[in-house]
């Protein structure tokens, strides 16, 4: 089965404590909400301590055009994306030897927070030494589910082409979509939650020669995947595209939807593979927020310690949309044992879920 043999993060340069972002939000939103101090509790209740951004907080205190924000997205995406690819292919924690980018057969590039044609992967290939024959598969618009979906599509690619080595590069610069003049509660919640991040994973087919470079005794083999889209749920999560750029759509009902919809979805997937929730050693969840994690625990009857890693990532980095599950998975790849079974899960616009079953072998 295709396996994930290396993973690396590229952390944006500006680390900002949650208290500072809360002060920024109070100044911005206080004239729009009479109960601003009650609403600001979302900054503390979310248990995020700091986040990382592509620009310093001062940058967000003035208006920027859609063009300016998107130019900043392209600039940072190319720089941080190139760093993540390089780190992934040279990661001494997971690899015995460096893998050259020229040997990569395909790159899946995941993003939902900026626009670029040619796509970001093409721009990076002009910065790093690459094969001109590398296949480029950019995937846009899957939001928080995009990282898990990218790994799933890479798994399917390597099933079809077992000699392949494939990169999944996820780039989300959520802060650059910020709308200063959007005084909605969705924007306030988004301001408390979303962050910037970049990560890259290397997925290898069975006949790719991965045995010569893999360093860990065990790596997560992807056993199976499932994609599910809820009918008539377009208004749960996503973007409204307006003249000024991307406006966040973020329903307050998401935790409730998770509790009612996710359980049968997960059980169907596990049962198809002859398994039950009790068979899982790890729950590799995209931490959409503290309430989302609580909804996972409630819906699936999970022991609370199974979401500790996801909560730790949320606390340190916030919700980096599609990227976040890579940060969570990396921590499991550093510590999981041979024979361990993990379920990767992420939710995104559609409203949709992406599930991956992984066994460390």
Active site residues: 144
DSSP alpha helix (H) spans, the chain: 18-29, 36-39, 41-45, 66-90, 120-125, 146-160, 185-193, 254-272, 290-300, 308-317, 324-335
Q: Which residues does 206 contact at the CB level (< 8 Å), separation at least 6?
A: 1, 2, 158, 162
Phi, psi torsion values for 238, nearest 5 degrees: 150, -150
Handedness of CA 203, 320, 282, 338 (dihedral sign): positive
Check if the beta carbon of residue 167 is closer than 8 Å to that of residue 88: yes
Helices (H), 50-92: 66-90
**Among residues 16, 337, 10, which one has the least CA distance to residue 192?**
16
Q: 305: how many CB neighbours lie within 10 A of its CB?
A: 9
What is the C-alpha to C-alpha distance for residues 201 and 94, in angstroms, rounded to an integer? Answer: 11
Cβ atoms of 126 and 136 closer than 8 Å? no
């Amino acid at each position: 089965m295709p396996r994930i043999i290396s993973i690396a993060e590229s952390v944006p340069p500006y680390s900002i404590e949650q208290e500072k972002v809360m002060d920024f939000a109070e100044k911005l939103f206080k004239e729009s909400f009479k109960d601003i101090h009650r609403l600001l509790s979302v900054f503390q209740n979310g248990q995020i301590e700091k986040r990382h951004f592509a620009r310093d907080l001062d940058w967000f205190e003035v208006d920027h055009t859609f063009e300016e924000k998107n130019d900043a997205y392209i600039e940072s995406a190319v720089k941080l994306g190139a760093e993540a690819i390089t780190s992934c292919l040279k990661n001494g924690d997971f690899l015995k030897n460096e893998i050259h980018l020229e040997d990569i057969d395909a790159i899946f590039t995941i993003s939902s927070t900026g626009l670029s044609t040619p796509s970001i992967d093409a721009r990076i290939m002009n910065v790093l030494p690459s094969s001109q024959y590398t296949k480029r598969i950019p995937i846009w618009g899957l939001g928080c589910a995009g990282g898990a979906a990218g790994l799933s599509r890479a798994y399917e690619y390597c099933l079809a082409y077992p000699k392949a080595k494939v990169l999944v590069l996820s780039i989300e610069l959520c802060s650059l979509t910020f709308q200063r003049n959007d005084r909605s509660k969705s924007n306030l919640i988004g301001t408390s939650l979303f962050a910037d991040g970049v990560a890259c994973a290397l997925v290898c087919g069975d006949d790719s020669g991965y045995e010569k470079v893999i360093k860990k005794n065990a790596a997560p083999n992807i056993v199976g995947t499932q994609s599910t889209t809820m009918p008539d749920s377009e208004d749960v999560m996503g973007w409204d595209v307006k003249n000024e750029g991307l406006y966040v759509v973020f329903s307050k009902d998401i935790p409730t939807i998770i509790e009612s919809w996710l359980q049968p979805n997960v059980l169907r997937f596990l049962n198809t593979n002859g398994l039950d929730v009790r068979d899982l050693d790890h729950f590799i969840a995209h931490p959409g927020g503290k309430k989302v994690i609580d909804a996972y625990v409630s819906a699936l009857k999970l022991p609370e310690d199974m979401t500790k890693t996801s909560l730790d990532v949320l606390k340190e980095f916030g919700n980096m949309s599609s990227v976040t599950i890579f940060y969570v998975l990396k921590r499991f790849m550093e510590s999981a044992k041979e024979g361990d079974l993990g379920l990767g899960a992420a939710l995104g616009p559609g409203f949709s879920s992406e599930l991956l079953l992984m066994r460390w072998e």
